[in-house]
Structure 1
């Protein structure tokens, strides 16, 4: 069965160098990189204690370059939520990014009141966070001699942490739904670096089967940056030069980034009828898993091809109709080559397929990687410009003799504008999303059940109906039940 078109009616983000989607697009269009050295105080240990060389990297990192979010405190407003500001203030910035980004997307969609038939799906990996480490320190210190514990806690060096920060995986989605009055449910998922596109696909399913009228989907990634740098150096996956160079022969690894991105989604027919803004139209999403392969972190060409093929099958369009592919391309030589070979198989009948990767601008945002690429494509569609990918000077041999062309300079993008976005993750999670410019979008199809779902009655409740179940008020607990 065909995929009923889904409209993107709102956007939100907190990214390196940009605290809103338009700012992010301005950076991409201008060819700016937001990769910098670690800001003062972001690492929990002195720099000289953790920096090492490539030959001496046990519990060390050879670089502190990354995509870091800065200045967020100046734009985040804890007022106006259905949860009191004092209940928000002591939470990890990860929670704040989710609240801010989801509210941005809903506001852009014109939805600023509680939505009984609105929901949230959040990609969120269970990485250690700075506040999680602080809580562990507090527990450890509490077991020491009372005079030592009291001196450290009262001295300001180790303020008493908020215990809710232990729940950094599942609680952010629940808190955002409560704080913004989303009554159709909220939950988190972990599909590694494909998480945000998995969240979008499952949000589309909710819209297709009629259990929601508006969904927000995306992901957040704010792990302890030192943990990531040391951990990925241990895997020999981090760039030794601190440069992100997707699809380049001289690339030597990925550069980490942090941030969050979200899109608000509605059925295209409903969005048009309600006069909502439409930034793009999702035509299909393909998901797959590699299954048995060569290893947990080894990419599979077959698995990626399967996800891409499923997206075009669902949309009922040919791959050669795509005029831009936003790739996963992290700058790891093996991973980029596997992705290039897979795309060469899928797009082999095309004459010219421009490709790129936002990793060169903001780094690899792990769970948020896919939605970052989607936000980049939405900006490109609005401006009619395919932006350059930074740092690619000598394309991989795997691209030779294929229609795939890395965009090393920006160029005009004539219509019809159709794009694809890929995201692949550890464990063999693969996702490929197909997107049309709203000006080129076809009429919406007759509503149908989601894949594997049951037919449902036509929705009767408007998108702005109050929640069917009361949203917990200011005094409600913010921690999940055991």
Structure 2
């Protein structure tokens, strides 16, 4: 069943190495990596206390490399919203990233509030933020006997963080809707690393059923970075070498990052009628769920095939007419091999299908991973360049004999641009 096409009319982001979509695209097109060691102070404790080794990492991490957002405070203006600045500044930067990114997407779409027929769908994992963790620490330490409390509750921890930081899962979406005048509702969802693209699907549904005329969709990921480092080392999912190498045969795990990405969406017919910029067109979305499987980091090939085939069936488009595929491809050997096999099945009728993954540039952004990939594709569509995936010079054996080809150097995108 074909669906009414949905136009992408605006973009916004807060990403490693980029605080706007054009800077982000420039970095991808130029083959830059934004993976660095943890900036000073991000772990809130001495680095030596947190570092372990591959052989000894209980409650520790063997690497501090990640995709970190830096310099955001210099561009964020809390006075530009419909909420008092002091009510914004006391919240974790996760809230600020949502306000900033959604506002960017609306601005590029030429839309300013109040917008009674506009809404927001926000992907957001319920992981602890640094400010939320600091609030929990304050509550716990304040309940201790005075000698312990006085010994531990020192410096900035004497002042209790804003209690609203407890609600970092759902409150950012509601706060953004209020601050930006979105009258058609806002809510959050957690579909793990599919969250931002799941949000796009639900936003398209709102436009298809006529309950909104403009929707912003995307996700934010700003968990406490030490929590992520320790957690993913505990899962044995983190790269031992600190390198993000999607589809490389010697890749040894993911490198996680942080950030937020958003797109503003409306019906294509209305975008054209209103003279809005059409940055891309969404013709179909496919969703599935693996159900019970081998584990958290062992995806099911059948589930991926089902999702892709549903998308192309809804779009009324043959997979072999596609000339760029942006993959999930996190750099984990099992996950990348499963995705290679699944994608090869869906695109089996194609002759040459270039593929890639933005995680080689910025790491795995968890809930925001799909949004970053979508912003990369929009940049490729606009400029006519298919960008390279870094560090993929020796592709997986699973790609041999398939029409899939990892882009190891940028290419001109000739002919019809369909991704």
TM-score (norm 1): 0.85
Q: Paired residue for 2:415?
A: 415
**Any conservation in 2 of the 1:348–1:402 contact (CA below 8 Å)?**
yes
**Any conservation in 2 of the 1:123–1:195 contact (CA below 8 Å)?**
yes
Q: Paired residue for 2:234?
A: 234
Q: Paired residue for 1:337?
A: 337
- How far apart are 1:3 and its partner, in Å? 1.2
- How far apart are 1:146 and its partner, in Å? 4.5
Distance 2:302 2:265 in 1: 30
Q: How does 1:80-479 map to 2 (within 5 A)?
A: 80-146=80-146, 149=149, 155-419=155-419
Find the residue that maps to 1:288 and give its secondary structure: coil
User: In the superposition, relative to structure 1, how do residues 312 and 49 fare at CA in structure 2: closer, same or farther (>3 Å)?
Assistant: same
Distance 2:250 2:418 in 1: 30
Distance 1:27 1:185 in 2: 34
- How far apart are 1:156 and its partner, in Å? 3.1
Distance 1:149 1:293 in 2: 46
- How far apart are 1:158 and its partner, in Å? 3.9
- CA RMSD of the aligned region, Å? 1.2
**Any conservation in 2 of the 1:153–1:159 contact (CA below 8 Å)?**
no
- How far apart are 1:236 and its partner, in Å? 0.6
**Any conservation in 1 of the 2:399–2:405 contact (CA below 8 Å)?**
yes
Distance 1:99 1:172 in 2: 8
Find the residue that maps to 1:122 and give its secondary structure: strand
What are the superposed Cα offsets for residues 17-57 of structure 1, whole Å, 9 maximum, x if unpaired?
00000000010011000000000000122111111111101
Q: Which moved more, 1:57-66 or 1:151-160?
A: 151-160
Find the residue that maps to 1:303 and give its secondary structure: helix
- How far apart are 1:130 and its partner, in Å? 0.8
- How far apart are 1:400 and its partner, in Å? 0.1
Structure 1's consecutive aligned runs of 4 or more residues displaced over 4 angstroms after TM superposition are 146-154
- How far apart are 1:291 and its partner, in Å? 2.1
What are the superposed Cα offsets for residues 278-298 of structure 1, whole Å, 9 maximum, x if unpaired?
100001100001123223432
- How far apart are 1:393 and its partner, in Å? 1.5
Find the residue that maps to 1:223 and give its secondary structure: coil
Find the residue that maps to 1:227 and give its secondary structure: helix
**Any conservation in 2 of the 1:153–1:160 contact (CA below 8 Å)?**
no
Find the residue that maps to 1:193 and give its secondary structure: helix
**Any conservation in 2 of the 1:152–1:158 contact (CA below 8 Å)?**
no
Q: Paired residue for 2:58?
A: 58
Distance 1:213 1:146 in 2: 57
Q: How many residues were matched structurally?
A: 419
User: In the superposition, relative to structure 1, how do residues 152 and 291 fare at CA in structure 2: closer, same or farther (>3 Å)?
Assistant: closer
Greater helix fraction, Structure 1 or Structure 2: 2
Distance 1:292 1:52 in 2: 33
Q: Which moved more, 1:384-393 or 1:144-153?
A: 144-153
| Ranges in structure 1 where 5+ consecutive residues have no aligned partner | 420-482
Distance 2:417 2:108 in 1: 23
Q: Paired residue for 2:68?
A: 68
- How far apart are 1:14 and its partner, in Å? 0.1
Q: Paired residue for 1:30?
A: 30
Distance 1:144 1:334 in 2: 46
**Any conservation in 1 of the 2:4–2:267 contact (CA below 8 Å)?**
yes
**Any conservation in 2 of the 1:62–1:233 contact (CA below 8 Å)?**
yes
**Any conservation in 2 of the 1:121–1:216 contact (CA below 8 Å)?**
yes
Q: Paired residue for 1:444?
A: none
Distance 1:233 1:286 in 2: 31
